[in-house]
Amino acid sequence: MPLTTDRKRQLTTAALVAPAGLWLFVFLVLPFMAMVVFAFGERAPEGGYQAAFTFAQFANLPSRAAAFWNTMMIAPVGAFLCLIVAYPVAYYLSIKSNPKYRLVLVSLVVVPFWTSLLVRTYAWMYILGSRGIPNLLGMIGIEDVRLLNTPGAVLLGIVYGYLPLMIMPIYVSLEKLDRRLLEASADLGAKPVSTFFRITLPLSLPGVMTGVALVIILLLGEYLIPQLLGGGKVFFIGNALVDLFLQSRNWPSGSAIAVTLVVVVVLVLSVAMHIAWKVSGSRQVELV
């Protein structure tokens, strides 16, 4: 029996989706299922995992309350600072910049991703360290200034490292903005500030929520920036996971934290999608 057009389309779609679906199942779903199993187990005497069924690992989550607290406090603040810096940049690129040079300017935003985050973070360690800005301040009489190994240094590293992820979604949202709305607002006598808050900002909110969600979700598992710029004094969930899996070899406890982190990420993503849907008045909002 010859295949119908709809059947051919379904088979073609399945063939295209199957490789990605298999990849996600093998490298995402199966590891997560293993973590869930480990989370209800016990630590073996020599370290690692020992089969059991207990909620003890989840009951011990308060012992890592400092890591959760630091992450839940610094991640939103870092995302907000990224937003404050990113929005004017995205606004200029999409609306004010010369279209002739726009592609070059957008490329400059992406250029930092061409260099390893590790290398860029080490550069900030030197800048904020005793031979960097504190040394320059000491030359003019301002001594005993410590910038490295502080929450401020971690926030600076977060803004620097994650800024492009905030700029691009906002830029795309503003790029799609109908310029005729801005012209109509000006023709009706609205001031630029009023036009921005009544037209530009509301229509760009889906891009804003996309950027905020991306940055916060990635920050919830951040390890490198707090480790290098925080010097172990600013402890994130990612740092706790490394300590439990590699140092303490307490895989069940680390798995319990990881599962809890995944649940938190899903909740953050759901809330962000809900807010984006509310402010945009449409369900056609993509966050990732």
What integer pLDDT is reported at residue 260 of this predicted model? 92
Q: What is the pLDDT of residue 139?
A: 87
Residue 182: Cβ-neighbour burial (10 angstroms; 0-12, 13-18, 19+): middle
CATH topology of domain 64-280: MetI-like fold (1.10.3720)
How confident is the model over 118-138, as pLDDT tens digits? 999 999 999 998 889 998 888
> pTM value?
0.84
Can you give the pLDDT at residue 165?
93
DSSP the chain: -PPPHHHHHHHHHHHHHHHHHHHHIIIIIHHHHHHHHHHTSB--TTSB-B----SHHHHTGGGGHHHHHHHHHHHHHHHHHHHHHHHHHHHIIIIIS-HHHHHHHHHHHHGGGGS-HHHHHHHHHHHHSTTSHHHHHHHTT--S---SSSHHHHHHHHHHHHHHHHHHHHHHHHHTS-HHHHHHHHHTT--HHHHIIIIIHHHHHHHHHHHHHHHHHHHHT--HHHHHHSTTSS--HHHHHHIIIIIS-BHHHHHHHHHHHHHHHHHHHHHHHHHHHHHHTSS-----
Q: Alpha-carbon distance 239 to 223, whole Å?
A: 5
Ranges of residues in the chain with a pLDDT under 50 are 282-288
Give the per-residue pLDDT at 222: 92
What does the pLDDT read at residue 287? 38
Q: Show me where the domains of the chain are located.
A: 64-280
Cα–Cα distance between 238 and 154 in angstroms, integer?
14
pLDDT per residue as tens digits for the range 59-87: 999 988 889 999 989 999 999 999 999 99
Q: Tokens standing for 135? A: 């040394």
Least Cα distance to 261 among 52, 19, 64 occurs for 64
